């Protein structure tokens, strides 16, 4: 009971705290609350790494036709809510044109003075019947919008949204009502009651192993004592979590890379034996060959020796190549 009272007080406090900021917020405005900075840091780093799993440049695959488009609507009236995080929920909806036509017919001229509204209800711990929400707030929507991010400002609460028309006289007509969603808490729960269990089959195994009951009764008692004594207020989390700045993509400065490779090629009788720098190489069927070397600075002496298949003739040609790389940089002020 004490817990319930505590819960109620806490809820009241939360509601009070959040009351003044109930404004329709555009998606472009980011959530004002820092989302668990440590977690976020790690998350961002992981995201950058995770991306490398799909690390390929985009290939210009325009030639492969993109499939046709998905339907713009499915011909039903509904609004769906999903939770993005402890503060934000997302709504998307579809309403058939004939629904608006019917309303237009019913409301006459007044229809044109109506505003399209998302009415966001806080329905925490109630079975919502349209009238028993703790509170609600409205977001005005323009005619062509079909989805919206809603800043609820209320972690750990339940939400339901009506899409409808607000008449100039303050009357609200619900067109579609959403599912109910619950935002998660953004911190530890304030409920500290404990409940423990041993699954039936695992208990049965312990029991069968011979120290079942004997162990569970006295040890269990000691355990519970200890639980009571050791009730610590904080929740265990990893110690020593500092925040670390996220590595930014390196800035692309002006740059130049130059390297040299050397191609050595030639031809001889297809059945001759050829060595280059004393290493035997393979000839193509027509007796030609090509070798390609990364060419470092310095002098390369490259004897190419061919020996006829009958071993009676031998010829050597030795290109000598040297590379000397100079680097100059100039930065104009």
Partner 1 sequence: MRSLKMNKGYLCLVLHGHLPFVRHPEHEDFLEEDWLYEGITETYIPLISIFEKLVQDNIDFRLTMTLSPTLISMLSDPLLEERYIKHINRLIELSHREMERTAWQPHFQRLATMYLNQFCSVRDTFERYNRNLVNAFKKFQDLGKLEIITCGATHGYFPLMDVHRESVRAQVKVAVSHYESVFGRKPRGIWLPECGYQPGHDEILKEAGLRYFFTDSHGVLHGTPRPKYGVFAPIYCKGTGVACFARDLESSKQVWSSIEGYPGDHNYREFYRDIGFDLEYDYIRPYIHPDGVRINTGIKYYRITGEGNQKEPYVPEWAREKAAEHAGNFMFNRQRQVEFLYDFMHKKPIIVSPYDAELFGHWWYEGPQWLDFLIRKIACDQDEIRLITAYEYLEENPRNQVITPSLSSWGWKGYSEMWLQGSNDWIYRHLHAASQRMTELAKGFTNTDGLLRRALNQALRELLLAQSSDWAFIMGTGTHTSYALRRTKEHLLRFNRLYEDIKSNSLEEEWLSDIEYKDNIFPAIDYRVHQ
Tell me whether residue 130 or residue 184 sits nearer to partner 1 (CB atom): 184
First to last CA, the chain: 75
> Which residues within the stretch 209-248 sit at the binding site for partner 1 (CB under 8 A)?
223, 226-227, 230-232, 235-241, 244-247
Tell me whether residue 55 or residue 129 sits nearer to partner 1 (CB atom): 55
CB of 16 to partner 1, least distance (A): 22
Which residue of 5, 16, 54, 131 would you call a contact of partner 1, by CB under 8 A?
54
Distances 244 to 40, 145, 248, 263 between C-alpha atoms, Å:
10, 39, 12, 49
Q: How far apart are CA 118 and CA 105, in angstroms?
A: 22
Residues 6+ apart with CB under 8 A from 307: 272, 273, 274, 313, 314
Which residue of 20, 71, 170, 208 would you call a contact of partner 1, by CB under 8 A?
71
Q: How far apart are CA 14 and CA 3, in angstroms?
A: 16
Stretch that binds partner 1, among 48-56, 128-136, 162-170, 310-318 (CB under 8 A): 48-56
Collapsing DSSP to helix, strand or coil, 284 comes out as coil
> Which residues within the stretch 168-187 sit at the binding site for partner 1 (CB under 8 A)?
179, 181-187
> Which residues within the stretch 184-203 sit at the binding site for partner 1 (CB under 8 A)?
184-199, 202-203
- Under the binding rule (CB under 8 A), the answer on residue 5 touching partner 1 is no
Residues 6+ apart with CB under 8 A from 267: 286, 287, 288, 289
> Which residues within the stretch 291-310 sit at the binding site for partner 1 (CB under 8 A)?
291-296, 300
> Which residues within the stretch 106-145 sit at the binding site for partner 1 (CB under 8 A)?
none
CB of 200 to partner 1, least distance (A): 8
Q: Total binding residues for partner 1 by CB under 8 A?
A: 99
Tell me whether residue 21 or residue 223 sits nearer to partner 1 (CB atom): 223
Q: Would you call 304 exposed, middle or buried from its count of C-beta atoms within 10 A (0-12, 13-18, 19+)?
A: buried
């Amino acid at each position: 009971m004490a817990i319930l009272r505590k819960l109620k007080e806490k809820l009241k406090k939360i509601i009070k705290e959040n009351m003044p900021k109930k404004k329709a917020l555009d998606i472009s405005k980011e959530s004002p609350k820092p989302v668990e900075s440590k977690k976020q840091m790690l998350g961002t780093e992981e995201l950058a790494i995770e991306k490398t799993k799909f690390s390929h440049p985009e290939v210009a695959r325009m030639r492969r036709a993109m499939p046709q488009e998905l339907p713009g609507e499915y011909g039903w009236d509904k609004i769906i809510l999903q939770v993005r995080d402890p503060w934000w929920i997302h709504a998307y909806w579809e309403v058939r044109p004939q629904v608006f036509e019917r309303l237009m017919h019913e409301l006459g001229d007044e229809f044109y003075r109506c505003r399209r509204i998302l009415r966001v209800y806080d329905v925490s711990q109630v079975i919502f019947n349209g009238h028993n929400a703790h509170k609600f707030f409205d977001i005005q929507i323009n005619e062509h919008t079909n989805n919206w991010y809603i800043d609820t400002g209320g972690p750990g609460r339940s939400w339901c949204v009506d899409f409808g028309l607000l008449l100039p006289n303050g009357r609200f007509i619900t067109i579609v009502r959403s599912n109910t969603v619950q935002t998660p808490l953004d911190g530890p729960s304030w409920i500290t009651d404990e409940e423990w269990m041993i699954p039936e089959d695992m208990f049965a195994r312990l029991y069968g192993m011979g120290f079942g009951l004997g162990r569970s009764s006295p040890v269990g008692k000691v355990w519970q004592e200890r639980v009571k004594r050791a009730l610590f207020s904080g929740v265990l989390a990893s110690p020593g979590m500092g925040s670390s700045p996220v590595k930014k993509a390196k800035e692309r400065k002006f740059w130049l890379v130059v390297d040299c490779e050397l191609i050595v090629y030639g031809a001889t009788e297809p059945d001759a034996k050829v060595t280059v720098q004393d290493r035997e190489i393979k000839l193509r069927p027509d007796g030609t060959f090509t070798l390609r070397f990364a060419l470092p600075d310095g002098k390369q002496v490259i004897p190419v020796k061919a020996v006829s298949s009958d071993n009676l003739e031998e010829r050597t040609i030795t290109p000598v190549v040297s590379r000397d790389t100079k680097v100059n940089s100039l930065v104009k002020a």
